[in-house]
A and B are shown apart, each in its own frame.
Chain A
């Protein structure tokens, strides 16, 4: 009996050891809080359908910082959603250019957005597109007979009408406590101007090479100084919220859904929060581009790659990682993904109801009418979007005038470079 028991035990141990050896563990690292639950569900299905592969999701709020620690300590995840140009330069990502099954299904412009400028290779696959512009309250606009502005003068006129006719409503709500939000204003307005006038590729190259003749951030009548002056004028005329330096994104959503703010600038990622706070807003949200603010500019809208996935160059589980991503990128899963994320899919074969129909139609119309720009991935490593946002905080706190702001921005950019 004892011998039999020992035999069974030994067999069980051997089986356990064999299973442990045969099991491939894929570490998946993400900073996207919106998709945690859905991905857990998808991962569960994948793991069940693929015995021998176990995908484990790790979420970190400050993922872009923590991934640096992971790279430095050698504990690199197999699959990750974080992507930085400096990591590309250091060869941290696997070249995914040959994954034609994925690329053939992707909108061509999104593949271009995923392409590294220096090597021409693709080190990430984006599953979605994101847009940023002005979210506005259609009811307020309709009541005042306003239409979305295409030029800065029209924009200021709209804000003035709102302030005059509805004194309790904040014309433009800016949540300036969060530096990233102010950094985005720089990203979409003055950087947006550079991208539309220079062209995406030339602008990226100019930023990568710090071509000051083309960027010209410090010029007295340049894109940065005009942007700063416009913002200061709006502040002086009470066309933005008084608590611009202390307001948070929660305050903004609250003000917008209760009709106390007429508009705010943000990306599609804000949509789910608005609808969660007040589902009745579904038919009242409008979307508008950033108006043209320089003599030679046009309205712009951010249309960028979103939710990118990369595989580590040092991963020992490349095949398993690719298998997982193939499963994740299936049309069925991407429909769910897109609807959870609240942004349109980058895959051509995915038809998702990512937003209320009227809003989605308006976004589509804006994308067709305004100049589409992408995110700046070529910023200097030592000068982040948050750093730029903190400079705008200083501007709004009275530390700079428009000219000194432009000079300080140029200096900070050069030093960061």
Chain B
């Protein structure tokens, strides 16, 4: 009781009245978090916008150049190639990750001997650094030298990779494959959580009503998995569009700039004394990521 009065005495003096509504100290509890958010997100973002409008080389004086960096980006054939690479990689990865992740989840949902161990094995690659993963896969698939490369050659012509790095579609397929192999387990975990949230009565009712397995999947399971699909699609798009490590370790963006992603381009521009320009490209990448994320969120919300 005494404690309550004490608290009242403290709170009362800072009570504010605004638009006829009482405000007390608790409303200011979010201030530290807000301050941190402003310091580490809003300020750098605004600073980034400012830098993107300059020709700053990272050290010397920055001169205001307006939107020149942005227009230059769209006139640069290398940058346009990088956008194409990034989008193809993201589309391929996001689609395959979701399909394979869902397939894994459906398989891993059913009880069988050694299920837990299998789940762990599927998830395991996700905890390894993508850079290390890329190097390991490079040693496995290196043309003429890698163990898997030779093994695939033995399997017949349809499995031959050839000099996969000098063939753009094959290089891209290898990059997407490694990325999907690494992160399918993570997608699976989210789908598994979604599947476990679906009430068993609904599936049983559909079964009693005579629905076939495919009908049960499309009519019951899939609609109720929408929240998990949304999370997976959004995180996969963000992750794939900002890809850096896998490409850097497998191809270094090569040959030439054939498989260079926008993130690698930004890094190279930044260390190539074009800090202002690279910041402008980072802004563009931000919007490139934002658009598909918003679209997918909107679509899944409508379905909800």
A and B together in one complex:
yes
Within 8 A of A (CB), among B163-181: 163, 165-166
Report A69 CB to chain B, min CB distance, Å. Answer: 8
Q: Say yes or no: A243 contacts B274, CB within 8 Å.
A: no
Sample of 6 further A-B pairs with CB below 8 A, known A245-B166, A245-B255: A90-B59, A242-B144, A245-B163, A245-B165, A393-B255, A394-B255
Q: Say yes or no: B143 contacts A243, CB within 8 Å.
A: yes
Contact of B272 with A by CB under 8 A:
yes
Query: When chains A and B are docked, how far (Å) is the Cα of A68 from the Cα of B58?
Result: 7
- Can you list 21 A-B contacts with CB-CB less than 8 angstroms, sorted by A residue number? A65-B271, A68-B58, A68-B59, A68-B271, A68-B273, A243-B142, A243-B144, A243-B145, A245-B165, A245-B255, A246-B163, A381-B273, A390-B254, A394-B257, A394-B258, A396-B166, A396-B255, A397-B255, A398-B166, A399-B255, A399-B256
With contacts A245-B163, A246-B163 known, is A382 near B258, CB below 8 A? no
Q: Which residues of B contact A399 (CB under 8 A)?
A: 255-256, 258
Query: When chains A and B are docked, how far (Å) is the Cα of A394 from the Cα of B58?
Result: 29
Give the number of chain A interface residues (Cβ < 8 Å): 26
Contact of A72 with B by CB under 8 A:
yes
Chain B 22-56 per-residue mask, 1 if CB under 8 angstroms from chain A, else 0:
00000000000000000000000000000000000
Chain A residues proximal to chain B, CB less than 8 Å: 65, 68, 71-72, 86, 90, 176-177, 179, 242-243, 245-246, 251, 381-382, 384, 387, 390-391, 393-394, 396-399
Chain B 261-281 per-residue mask, 1 if CB under 8 angstroms from chain A, else 0:
000000000011110000000
Give the number of chain B interface residues (Cβ < 8 Å): 22
With contacts A72-B59, A243-B144 known, is A382 near B255, CB below 8 A? no
Specify the chain B residue showing the minimal Cβ separation from A412: B78
Report A87 CB to chain B, min CB distance, Å. Answer: 8
Q: Say yes or no: B142 contacts A245, CB within 8 Å.
A: no
Report B196 CB to chain A, min CB distance, Å. Answer: 44
Query: When chains A and B are docked, how far (Å) is the Cα of A396 from the Cα of B144?
Result: 17
Q: Which residues of B contact A179 (CB under 8 A)?
A: 252, 254
Contact of B199 with A by CB under 8 A:
no
Per a CB cutoff under 8 Å, which of A72, A177, A251, A391 touches B58?
A72
Contact of B156 with A by CB under 8 A:
no
Q: Say yes or no: A90 contacts B60, CB within 8 Å.
A: yes
Q: Say yes or no: B272 contacts A390, CB within 8 Å.
A: no
Report B156 CB to chain A, min CB distance, Å. Answer: 20
Specify the chain B residue showing the minimal Cβ separation from A386: B268
Q: Which residues of B contact A242 (CB under 8 A)?
A: 143-144, 163
Query: When chains A and B are docked, how far (Å) is the Cα of A370 from the Cα of B257?
Result: 35
Q: Which residues of A contact B256 (CB under 8 A)?
A: 390-391, 393-394, 397, 399
Q: Say yes or no: B272 contacts A381, CB within 8 Å.
A: yes
Query: When chains A and B are docked, how far (Å) is the Cα of A394 from the Cα of B258?
Result: 8
Within 8 A of A (CB), among B59-75: 59-60
Report A258 CB to chain B, min CB distance, Å. Answer: 13
With contacts A179-B254, A398-B166 known, is A246 near B143, CB below 8 A? yes
Q: Which residues of B contact A176 (CB under 8 A)?
A: 255
Q: Which residues of A contact B166 (CB under 8 A)?
A: 245, 396-398
Within 8 A of A (CB), among B227-259: 252-258
Chain B 84-124 per-residue mask, 1 if CB under 8 angstroms from chain A, else 0:
00000000000000000000000000000000000000000
Query: When chains A and B are docked, how far (Å) is the Cα of A222 from the Cα of B273?
Result: 30
Q: Which residues of B contact A72 (CB under 8 A)?
A: 58-59
Report A244 CB to chain B, min CB distance, Å. Answer: 9
Report B261 CB to chain A, min CB distance, Å. Answer: 14
Q: Which residues of A contact B60 (CB under 8 A)?
A: 90
